[in-house]
A = this chain, B = another copy of it.
Amino acid sequence: MKIETIDFFYLSIPQVRNIGDGSQDCLLVRIRAGQQVGWGECEASPLVSIANLVCPMSHSACRSPLDAVLGHRIDSPADIHAINHRVREIGLDIAQTGHTLSGIDIALWDLLGRHQGRPAHELIGYSKAYPKRPYASQLFGDKPQETLEKGKAMRQAGFTAVKFGWGPFGRDLKADRDHLAAAREGVGPDVELLIDAGTVWVDDVSEAARRIEQLEAIRAGWLEEPFVGTAVHAYGELAARNSSIPLAGGEGASHPDLARQLIDFGGIKVVQIDTGRIGGITPAKTIADYARAKSIRYVNHTFTTHLALAASIVPYAGMSEFDLCEYPVEASELATHLTIERLSRDNNGRVHLPDAPGLGLTPNLATLKKFLKNVEIRVDGKTIYSTPPI
């Protein structure tokens, strides 16, 4: 098949709030080849990646991904690997390239899977997809009592693991202790409790170290993103100073090398990859393989739609030793209804990838129409992007 069109759709709820909820907008990708359609999603600022898709060439290493995708053939997984490599090469000097590439790569795996009638996890080399144990992923409440109620609700909903993150956490030692205690009280003694600092300490190792005792007190399963993803030295120092709480990170990686450095030099014990940022399923699989080789834990990162959720599980679907998966529980209406199908929990509380070609999820046209933003970009009077027809 020859790749004929790539369409980017910017979807957003009407009023985006200034909170850590990444499900408030969405950049959906549609790729067509022959009679087939594939869907993907970038976890990116939609307008920035749309501009990246259509940007004029600046020089040989500063070019849009389009040149590496449109008109090229896609008949086998090797073709997708080659496209991924080529997009990086010609987009080397555009910082946004990894984010933009992500949705394209995901859509290509979906497309090839649909064409061959095989699920994406088979195409990338797995003979089977193991069910994953979902952890309920949510923001801290504004007040400890709200955190407690959120925890209780997730325990009652049957989750065996719950994560709290972002919100007010990390700014005041006393308030943090109250939130952490409330989180543990809410989920009860037996639920695995995970804490996400949302990069609040940037690269300040001392601030992070001051919370370790609090995290031990509530038996936190991990401390996620104490620092920004680039602060490898800070991760490494904190890991060296603390042996009780495993460090988790990697969601910010827009290139597999950045995740690798957190493993090699940052001392993380859990690597969390967002397929919508790292460049798609292709590099995420590379990191899953690397995590296995280094005997650390791989977990998906996702906070948005079930299309993004499925894409984030595919890279480690066939690795039974990595049994946990992030599972959004407070996504926006847009994210919740983006796809017709959803990855619901089974009677044992587990999440399964759809047993269907590609990613097995189809966007709901009604949702697309409801939340679609109309974007137009003109350069010297020529329209180089306008929102495509659904």
Contacts and interface: CB of A to CB of B under 8 A. Distances in A.
Contact of A230 (B10, B61, B258): B258
Contacts of A264: 232-233, 265
Contacts of A50: 51
A18 interface: yes
A10 to B, nearest CB: 8
Interface size class of A (residues with CB under 8 A): 35 or more
Copy count, this protein chain: 2
Contacts of A231: 257
Interface stretch (A92-100, A114-122, A143-151, A311-319): A92-100
Contacts of A254: 95
Interface of A: 10, 12, 16-22, 24-25, 43-48, 50-52, 54-63, 85, 88-89, 92-99, 166, 198-199, 202-203, 228, 230-233, 252, 254-255, 257-258, 260-261, 264-265, 277, 373-381
Given A43-B93, A203-B257, 20 more contacts: A16-B57, A18-B57, A21-B59, A22-B59, A24-B58, A45-B52, A45-B96, A46-B55, A47-B51, A48-B55, A92-B199, A92-B228, A94-B96, A95-B95, A95-B98, A95-B254, A95-B277, A230-B257, A264-B265, A376-B377
14 contacts: A16-B57, A16-B58, A18-B63, A20-B59, A25-B56, A51-B52, A92-B199, A92-B228, A93-B252, A96-B96, A230-B257, A374-B378, A375-B377, A377-B377
